[in-house]
Chains A and B, each alone.
Chain A
């Protein structure tokens, strides 16, 4: 007796549309910030469109809006068919869809306004973080509801990856979002300095692992065999690479913090586990490529399969390069340069982008019950997209090596060959131009795809509810033959499967984070390090708002080239009051960890007001509004209180005195500026940020 039911295609279509729209938005913003790097005028003179505020918008739009919607599209399509069941609840599907779009819209509004928590790839402020948690749970509930009412006894490998994605992203997001709100749109992370850095990069690295990798592997396991009409190459390999991948990935985060103040043992764990990641990652690639065995003649003709092959190859390259970059010696050159930007874009444009396009080309004609409008246009998209990736990545690799080596070069006299940071920037500007051309080519391909898909949709009609039938599960199941094996048993038990994958991913995170949080010796205290003054604290928040951390690191590594250029290398104990940490990950401008006292207040004023006057040729945008906007001192009291709650030793009752101290310090700076013929009122934001910059790194310099 077969049961009749319908697959929900409308929700798949909606997520597909959202994928396309947000893809174009995210990539266009990417192109804009790429152009800002060689043409500062593209910052458009407005605080809402400067690189520092827009760059997080690009990363979040592409990761969570484009890739996020694509994941949901792929999951909602494949899950129903793999389980022979409609999604658990249409209402939950709708809440999930609209909730996610609202979160994206809220992000698009708040990030340009400067409402940011500054954790990379998680810049959204706390109300949005809560919304993300709720919607993610809705998604998980809907997915598990579907799994429970399935008509297929065993869960296919794609679903293992979906389950691991769901639990791990939930854990990552919650741990990385623990903040203390100080107002509706401002909060401080409860972690400080080294610990905050460890949490951020544990999250950041695993966002790549469990948002950009595991769900896509799951989708690859469904859509690739479907497209090629071939069996999956090796079931054994899927088991091995699935479990090893999720267990090992979670440990690798600290490789983002090599040569920093993170304790050495944690850095070494990051290196060791990154090396072990090669095989599990490649397991996915070879299982995909070998599935195409016997179908290579189709690859020659079918642009979808071409996208798949290049996507898998890009995945293989990126996951081989990742462990290489995790070696200390290579990282010493590559870190803070465009090499890393090139690396992530090979993954993002090649793996995520191309897989998404292939799936769209496959899925849209199916749910519209028609054929693709133009295979030729799809082919054109493939070639221009591939060309775009090459034009994007090659110049940036070159720029990365060039700049990384220039920073380290000394003259025979023992001086830095390029003491002026700007010289090393001007050297790579042509590469930035080429990169933007690559990005434009890639975006052109996406627009061509959009046209092609709209035409396809118009030619067909959406099959909102697709009829299907299947046998219900027998009430009693007796395992026979191979089904008695341990892993087959696990594939029948979704809850046990989920708990097991949760345990597997928790091990690495716990072992790395617990000691860093609890053992004192990991962060030696420095007596001379004192909390920020109220003005500096406010200035720091302006620094956070403007997204300075997107271009300026605050972490001097123990290399001669860095201590010569910037000053004494950073110590873990210097960051104990930094909620959040602001070490940064890319040096488009110089490091600022020892900026305090290097230049006069007037220099900073002029430089912020118009960087080109103090550094001719600089690509930093001018920050005129800092000199016009009044510093909001009504928040000082709650900020001091919040910091005290987080363990910063402000004396009891200091919050009442804080604003008068703030005023005093601000007046002193304004008076100093006055002496240099700069007339500015002491209540402007620029005074606060100058105070913060002048404080940076001076605590241990003074001794």
Chain B
């Protein structure tokens, strides 16, 4: 029982492993960068407190003045952020302050940013378009139409799948099923049996809620074709689940072969016979 859970685990979790791996790598990279940054900052602090003399004081002063001049030019140029938000320079703020104040809180008479208005009107236009598409003009598919299309597409791909000769063994059904005693098949059936069937039929098919599968008595027929049919369509009124939606035809066939292989194993705690002897 436990094994199946674990195997599901490992097969299904490759994507999880990849993401966790990526996260780890990212974390390590961040750590490296941080350490590097720390080094740089330390160096910078050291240099600014006690600079290594390179240039003469005159040269330094000249450089400082150059830097300052550059900074003045740079300050006058509004940044991309300022442009985007249409921000007025801080010095002009006092002209924007409105007359009223509430408990000391002033308000500025700034305009709403243009990009904000574009977003606002843009979403309104989009919303109108959306409503027209889906509910007025009928261009958009309704959810029922979408569903029908999805089902049709699935049916087509199933036909295409079965047309491929490599997939023919999946065409097995309750009319052409033949019993096999191949060990590999029975082993595969056994692994399908665990977890899916054991809650009702018991670890060894001895029967719990569901009937004993190891004796010669059958409620719905004990031939390979009958067992296949019972597994596939279930017996809902008696609590047997239909498996056709969750097991492939090949898997149902393997499972049938495993169930048939249980005949006469006489497990401990076997449930009393039910149904007819076959």
Residues of A bordering B, CB below 8 Å: 78, 81-82, 84, 152, 154, 156-157, 222, 225-226, 231-238, 240, 244, 259, 264-265, 268-269, 271-273, 275-280, 282-283, 286, 290, 293-294, 328, 398, 402, 406, 410-416, 418-420, 423, 426-427, 430, 481-482, 557-560, 563-565, 569, 597-603, 606, 613-617, 676
Contacts and interface: CB of A to CB of B under 8 A. Distances in A.
B50 interface: no
5 contacts: A232-B106, A237-B110, A410-B154, A558-B143, A598-B241
Nearest to A223: B105
B5 A602 contact: no
Nearest to B144: A558
A17 B152 CA distance: 61
B144 A240 contact: no
A157 B239 CA distance: 63
Contacts of B170: 413
Nearest to A603: B239
Contacts of B9: 426-427
Interface stretch (B59-67, B124-132, B260-268): B124-132
B52 interface: no
B112 interface: yes
B245 interface: yes
Contact of A236 (B112, B209, B237): B112
A412 B161 contact: yes
Report whether over half of chain A's contact residues are helix, strand or loop; otherwise say mixed: helix
A276 B97 contact: no
A620 to B, nearest CB: 14
Contact of B195 (A236, A265, A557, A616): A616
A572 B32 CA distance: 57
A597 to B, nearest CB: 5
A559 B200 CA distance: 30
B68 to A, nearest CB: 21
Contact of B143 (A259, A279, A283): A259
Contacts of B144: 558
Contacts of B108: 231-235
Contact of A415 (B97, B240, B247): B247
B209 A600 contact: yes
B95 interface: no
Contact of B245 (A259, A273, A564, A600): A564
Contacts of A290: 85, 87, 110
Given A231-B108, A237-B110, A279-B119, A427 B12 contact: yes
Contacts of B147: 558-560, 563, 569
Nearest to B134: A268
A76 to B, nearest CB: 14
B158 interface: yes
B209 A606 contact: yes
B85 A415 contact: no
Nearest to A240: B112
Contact of A278 (B5, B113, B119, B150): B119
A134 B199 CA distance: 53
Given A157-B107, A413-B248, A563-B147, 14 more contacts: A156-B105, A235-B107, A236-B109, A264-B135, A275-B126, A282-B119, A283-B116, A290-B85, A418-B12, A426-B5, A558-B144, A564-B245, A569-B147, A614-B199
A418 B245 CA distance: 11
Interface stretch (B13-21, B37-45, B215-223): B13-21
B99 interface: yes
B5 A414 contact: no
A304 B107 CA distance: 21
Contact of B135 (A238, A265, A410, A613): A265
Contact of B16 (A244, A271, A430): A430
A286 B107 contact: no
A558 B239 CA distance: 26
A702 B98 CA distance: 71
Contacts of A282: 116, 119
A482 B158 contact: no
B98 A482 contact: yes
B157 interface: yes
A557 B120 CA distance: 32
A603 B246 contact: no
Contacts of A222: 103, 105
Given A259-B143, A616-B199, A599 B105 contact: no
Contact of B120 (A231, A233, A280, A402): A280
Nearest to A569: B147
A599 to B, nearest CB: 5
B268 to A, nearest CB: 16
Contacts of A613: 199
Given A82-B102, A222-B105, A225-B105, A406 B12 contact: yes
A275 B134 CA distance: 15
Nearest to A263: B135
Nearest to A429: B9
A427 B150 contact: no
A413 B161 contact: yes
Nearest to A481: B99
B5 A617 contact: yes
Nearest to B2: A616
A411 B248 contact: yes
A501 to B, nearest CB: 19
A244 B106 CA distance: 23
Contact of B151 (A78, A81, A560): A560
Given A275-B126, A602-B209, A235 B131 contact: no
B236 A597 contact: yes
A230 to B, nearest CB: 9
Nearest to B250: A413
B109 A235 contact: yes
B120 A275 contact: no
Contacts of A558: 143-144, 146-147
A423 B151 CA distance: 24
A415 B248 contact: yes
B33 interface: no
